[in-house]
Structure 1
Amino acid sequence: MTVFPGGTGVTHLSVYDWPGPDGLPGGSAHVHLVCTEGYVVLEGRGRLQTLGADGFAETPLTPLTVAWFAPGIVHRLVNDGGLRILVVMQNAGLPEAGDAVLTFPPSHLADAASYRAAATLPSDDPAGGARRRKDLAVEGFLGLRAGGPQALAEFYARAAALVHDDLPAWHGRWRDGPLAAATATGNQLDHLTAGGFHHLHDGRLTVLSAPPTRGYGMCGRLATYPQNNER
């Protein structure tokens, strides 16, 4: 089970202020296939651009805004000034295992090798690689917006194909994390229903300090709180 409750994960995100191909500063557009993602805006201003079955939308982000979106919603953060967000992610461990497909142009989504080559950051220049990766994802996102429902359906098909071989490992992470957390709650309800309460003696306080490192993520610099089910 993950350290954070309910099989979720939390990350502090400082959204990139690098301008993209359309001149807007922000992060990479991408989609999750099985995980819902939530934002709690801590500081600054920005916009959440989304693309899904209902078309394109843009949502203003200001301090204390809470927004979340289900799998299949292509999303891109635009940073209008100092945008910092606490990200709450369903199914902690699955996004880290690959449940996030960037909206690269179709030629980069043809197979796993092509996708990996475009998505992997070079060890000698991670910042430059992150910026190039972001621009490529925004380029593809703009194409999806212009292409309509058919382009989005084709992207979904390519994204599903890219993660297909990883699904057995995802099942294991889901079973050991989110499913185990939900099952534990069910067991506790059963014990209480039967008049038991011994699980209350097992309660403990957990405190996590601020993460010491900030990696180059899809949307910005990341400070990810640790999990104890990482493999």
Structure 2
Amino acid sequence: MKIAIVGYGKMGKIIADIAEKRGHEIVARLTETPTKENLNNPDVAIEFTNPEVAFNNIKSCLENKVPVICGTTGWLDQKPEIEKIASENNTAFLYGSNFSLGVNLFFALNEKLSDLMKNFKEYHVQLEEIHHTHKKDAPSGTAISLAEGIIKNDQRFDAWKLDETKENQLGIVAIREDEVPGTHSVFYRSEVDEIEIKHTAFSRDGFALGAVIAAEWIQGKTGNFSMKDVLGL
């Protein structure tokens, strides 16, 4: 494939390296807004930037008929509009709050556990995420996905919130520490015990590989997708 990297920071460079090792060609390494000219006619664009510019980056790619794999979090209030643009332009859009294979299995495990625990009201639910100090959004997109998986199954909650769980709001504690790729934990605590599931990333390589695999998968497709579609979960 010919791939445009939109956002050539730490993640963009790892993605480019992995993509080239898998036989793909990087035709653009962008640190500015993509245009028809600087995209250089790719088969797909992989977008990892920041919440302030993600919407315009994705919109520009889609309007130029370029499928987009997006791993930027913190802008999801505009996601329905992006999905509409993808459909109108007969192209494809895939958003992942986390592209790691392990995390996507963790999402499925989280939903299974929340379904098991929904009737045991003596257990208090809490989420925690730890990331590097350079991460601009809090809570992480991965933590939000975990919260949404719990809310879907547990009628005690109708929304998530940053900080401790309170009444019908499922809490997410966000911690920032130096050079932590990402750790996510879900706790079920009672007065007598605790159940915990946890995912710890050792590097960014797993996220980058998943994004490239998603880019390979989306070829020839139209519509809006997620990593569940890619992995058949």
Report which structure shows greater RCO (CA 8 Å, sep ≥6): 1
Query: TM-score, normalised to structure 1's length?
Result: 0.26
